[in-house]
Amino acid sequence: MARMGGRPRTAAGGEDNSSLYVQALANGLTILSVFDIEHPEWSLGDIARRTGISKTTAYRMLRTLEWTGFVTYSPDSERYGIGPAALPLSYLTLSHVGFSHLTHPVLERLAAATGETVELAVEGKGEAVVVDHVETSHPFKPNLPLGRALRNLANSSMKVFAAHQTEKERERLLQAHQPSLTPHTITDPALLRAELARVAETGLAFDREEQELGVCAVSAPVFGPYRELKAVLTVVAPVERFQAEDGRRNVAALQAAAAELSGHLSKLTSAQ
């Protein structure tokens, strides 16, 4: 389920026109954002093409990031990777998920109830990031690495996040190019718009072999105390175990687990 990593360079909310906006810093952060669990290394040329930053500027940024320890460079492969200075930030980010200490037992119970792989994703900037998972007890285990970024609407987690965006942001996501990953992938914006409306209404999003043939998923939202979306909980299963009684049982277990997590968040907030 490998997907292209990183994000192209974009101006967030027109901040590049502000006197407070530092273009060099934005370039450096944009370069750092292309590294993820599935793409831990990039060449200079790939980084320039991915970000839209000129090769000369990208090289200067990378040398600065190398000197400060945020990236490393391998002369043998001529590729850059994340450096040791970035590791404390990674752990700090994980700690700010906030409820990670109480989510894992819920994921374990959901995996036991369904027998399938379960994962929890939180929202990044225009993407969903998988921050926790429990693998299926079955011998065949899908390749779903922790920390991967989800960016297309073939994925049920991203459908939940998109369904709960503002209308403007939802339309931006709908108008973005949706790659046709399988014969089942929905790429038409009008059909996707109707799909997201169903997700918002029912509280469930499905991936029926849209992202990968033979693999299905169902996702449900985890809400905070004010009905704000905090995370998405997902059950992933092969298509043969996603039908009829197995599918209904998995959906019921997923909804109960998502409601339990939402309840935990409400209690934590009221206790503060």
Per-residue model confidence as pLDDT tens for the chain (272 residues): 333 333 444 444 444 556 778 888 888 889 988 887 678 899 999 999 999 999 999 999 999 999 988 899 988 889 998 887 775 566 455 544 555 667 889 999 999 999 999 999 887 767 788 888 888 877 776 767 677 778 889 999 999 999 998 898 899 889 888 889 999 999 999 999 999 999 999 999 999 999 999 999 999 999 987 788 888 999 999 998 888 777 888 999 999 999 998 887 776 554 44
Domains of the chain are: 12-85 (1.10.10.10), 97-271 (3.30.450.40)
DSSP-assigned states of every residue in the chain: -----S-----GGGGGGSTT--HHHHHHHHHHHT-BTTB-EEEHHHHHHHH---HHHHHHHHHHHHHTTSEEEETTTTEEEE-GGGHHHHHHHHHTT-SHHHHHHHHHHHHHHHSSEEEEEEE-SSSEEEEEEE--SSS------TT-EE-STTSHHHHHHHHTS-HHHHHHHHHS-----STT----HHHHHHHHHHHHHHS-EEEESSSSTTEEEEEEEEE-TTS-EEEEEEEEEEGGGSSHHHHHHHHHHHHHHHHHHHHHHHHHHHH-
